[in-house]
Amino acid sequence: MKNVNGIMNKALSYFRSGYNCAESVLLAIAKDAFEIDSDLIPKVATGFGGGISRQGYVCGVVSGAVMGFGLKYGRDSPEELRAKTYNRVVEFYRQFQKKVWKHCL
């Protein structure tokens, strides 16, 4: 993955251009960090903005990041282990809680 600060800045740039939080993070991770290009990005993230369609549930930033990790490390078949993805998501979420969550409350 590229520089984390660079990805955060790119996500902020997408957000300022009008994408919601989930779309912005997914775009930054998929396109800019992992160089994955698909017409489904940001479409797949649209409903997750604002804590799942502005309901205040799971933060759109977290949802977008989890989708981004899934694009890169997700399984292609049910026989594959989930741990490769889960471990990365858990580490991201720990860092998110420590550094960002307090600013969201």
- Please report, for residues 29, 32, 56, the alpha-carbon distance to residue 35 in angstroms, rounded to integers and kept in the order given: 8, 5, 30
User: What are the residue boundaries of the structural domains of the chain, listed by start?
Assistant: 4-104
Predicted TM-score (pTM) of the model is 0.86
What digits encode the pLDDT tens for the residues 7-41? 999 999 999 999 999 999 999 999 999 999 999 99
Q: Are 82 and 70 in contact (CB under 8 A)?
A: no
User: What local confidence, expressed as pLDDT, does residue 102 receive?
Assistant: 62
